Structure 1
């Protein structure tokens, strides 16, 4: 199988498993982490048939591992861990997380395609100059990159969830409520009548023989005859 086919199958398979496992609001469990690691393990069993050690083969395969760790840290930055109401750890992955995985996985596939169609001669020349025998070394580097990427993401996820669960749960302080009285409401006392005052001449009636008397709260005049 060509390098492009290996990179395509491995990238699409891992991408499908990761997005199906992480997208949305999901609880962090051991089975969830193990599922993605097992998917990469199956890819290794299918596509890695040998471990070349001649020349700089080991260095190139380790470079794939190192690049996978960097990619894993990048995608883990888009996977925050939150504490749910029941105290368990949950992750929230959205469009940014999916795009990060899609771009990095697509980059691997694009490089493998270019190695076979765009810059084949340059890659052959590079392999001869740096003593890299055969295409198995590049295929292994792609697979190890995927493995390191998934393992790094899983390690970061596990560390964050453990720290979150070990952290003390913040206690919200609520103000005590003032109890309402249950008995009958107190009766209001009647307002005592105010003093009497004399009306102004403009308020006199034509038919009246004298000034009229009304109640007022402002005049201290006493009522006549009292």
Structure 2
């Protein structure tokens, strides 16, 4: 599977998992909050083959993590969390939440396609100028995107858990 195919597959898995778990009114329970962790445990070993401990690779991984955390916090701000009259804690997410996730996935997909077809050489030169070996560039880009996706999912779960615990 090519790097582009991997990126598009991750985007699709993240989008479907998140929208399935959150759209509408859903109970906030352990399974719902742990599902993204399970997705992360599956995705990271399959799609991340090299971790970069220094240089531009590490910087891109950190930026991906930071962007994912920020996005996860913004997305979960679009979710209402409340206690039902029966006593259970539920969340409700609608069109604005879905639009944010769809927008993120479209932006990530367009970036991945562009990195493969439209500005591959410019991106390669940028990374090479910043110390990346040419053979590492696809892994650096993939790691940044994977870390962003996983951080967004896990942040969404963590923030939802914190908000739900305030309703108990």
Please indicate the TM-score interval, normalised by the length of the shorter structure. over 0.9
Unaligned runs of 5+ in 1: 166-226
Residue equivalent to 1:156: 159
1:56 Cα shift?
A: 2.0
Secondary structure of 1:164 counterpart: coil
Alignment check: 8 A CA contact 2:89 2:164 kept: yes
Q: CA RMSD in A?
A: 1.2
Alignment check: 8 A CA contact 2:83 2:89 kept: yes
Residue equivalent to 2:22: 22
Unaligned runs of 5+ in 2: none
1:2 Cα shift?
A: 3.0
Q: 1:126 and 2:129 equivalent?
A: no
Distance (Å, rounded) in 2 between the aligned partners of 1:150 and 1:162: 18
Q: Deviations for 1:129-184, whole angstroms, at most 9, x for unmatched residues?
A: 1112321111111111111001111111000000111xxxxxxxxxxxxxxxxxxx
Residue equivalent to 2:44: 44
Distance (Å, rounded) in 2 between the aligned partners of 1:156 and 1:16: 19
Distance 1:151 1:124, change over 3 A: same
Q: Paired residues, what number?
A: 165
What is the TM-score normalised by the length of structure 2?
A: 0.93
What is the TM-score normalised by the length of structure 1?
A: 0.70
Q: 1:91 and 2:91 equivalent?
A: yes
